[in-house]
Amino acid sequence: MSSSEPATAGADSGLHAEITAHRGEFRLDIALSIEPGETVVLVGPSGSGKSTAVSIIAGLLPLERGRVRLGNEIWCDSQMKTDWPPHRRRVGFMHQDFALFPHLDVRGNVMYGARARGAARASATSQADAWLERLGLRAFSDRFPSALSGGQRQRVALARALASGARVLLLDEPLGSLDVETRASIRAELRMFLTRFQLPTLFVTHDASDALVLADRIAVLEEGKLTQIGSREDLLSRPASRFIAELLGLNYVRAELSPGDGMREARAIDVVFHVLGNEPAGTVSLSFPPSAVTLSVDRPRGSAQNTFPGRVREVVPLADRVRIVLDCGVILAADVVREAAQALDASPGRALWASVKATAIQVYP
């Protein structure tokens, strides 16, 4: 392995973290494992504990109780009283603002990590140039950060993390400062890089698109606890909470399922859904995409088993359609083309009917 390649930590070089920490009244309590070459995207609302978790793994905040290890290397353990400093953990840490040094050119920024770990200038220069070449930055090596685009600064920050001999990548909202167009192109490029380098990677974000494009697995953090971990398909088919469903653009309702077989009732307060499901009677989750909801001005006469009157709460223009959010006793979102929204005269307060077929509704505990 060349000096410019990421180092490993033995046969098991996965990252494993069991973390308990308090910040005032807030409690963070999570357990997470990331395998080599796997990207886990940690997503959650502001204040859910995402940045606290990643800072504890990096060694920037103390671990109150638990353990963090990379393979057989124990970075910190509350029982063993072990606590490696950040530089010894060799973590590649990228922040939202990339934290590039404005007084150093691109090569100097990429050299910084290796130099901070004691590498000779010649060795650090060689490692930096190798990573600049691999990330398509060689032509920018003598430029300063102020002369780079947002996407170029993001690649420089990634090169600096890798050139430092990182064995784990921790990316804390690294795309947050980019505009929408740049973010989309850099997201796809970053996915390619992460696949190539085969490091355990924890990517922190609040953006659903980051999670859907970049993640091998998505870990959802709400109020200091992991509410769901799984593939994008897992979350899309069975979101475990309203936050997850809304993050992914799905309708989500908690309801009481009646006993029986075949078509059954699922009651959400005063709203009754008719659903198909084999789940035992009791509290269940219902989820379905906004594209499955049909809107009309008059009560429909079609075959939809679920038809509800409601009033428009919000109209949200999307890229190629319009999302209309209604209060039908439960909140339902419907996606329609712009022409349909105009024909419905959809605006806040407007009375409309919403319909959804039983076959479109997922039913699960």
| CATH 2.40.50.100 segments of the chain | 250-364
Position 9 confidence tier, pLDDT thresholds 50, 70, 90: very low
Position 179 confidence tier, pLDDT thresholds 50, 70, 90: low
| CATH 3.40.50.300 segments of the chain | 15-237
Mean pLDDT to the nearest integer, 357-361: 94
- Separation between Cα atoms, residue 32 and residue 25, nearest integer Å: 23
The CATH class that applies to domain 250-364 reads: mainly beta
The answer to whether the CB of 304 falls within 8 A of the CB of 319 is: no
pLDDT per residue over 88-136, tens digit each?
888 888 876 667 888 989 898 888 877 777 778 888 888 888 888 877 8
CA distances from residue 241 to 68, 73, 252, 285, 287 in whole angstroms, order as listed: 28, 35, 8, 8, 10
Of the given ranges (52-56, 183-187, 267-271), which has the lowest mean pLDDT? Answer: 183-187
3-state secondary structure of 21: strand
Mean pLDDT to the nearest integer, 243-257: 93
Look up tokens 């939809």; give the residue.
304
Range with top average pLDDT, 5-19, 188-202, 215-229:
215-229
pTM of the model: 0.81
3-state secondary structure of 339: helix
pLDDT per residue over 289-328, tens digit each?
999 999 999 998 876 789 999 999 999 998 889 999 999 9
pLDDT of 33 higher than 70 = yes
Percent of the chain with pLDDT strictly greater than 90: 55
Give the CATH fold of the 15-237 domain: Rossmann fold (3.40.50)
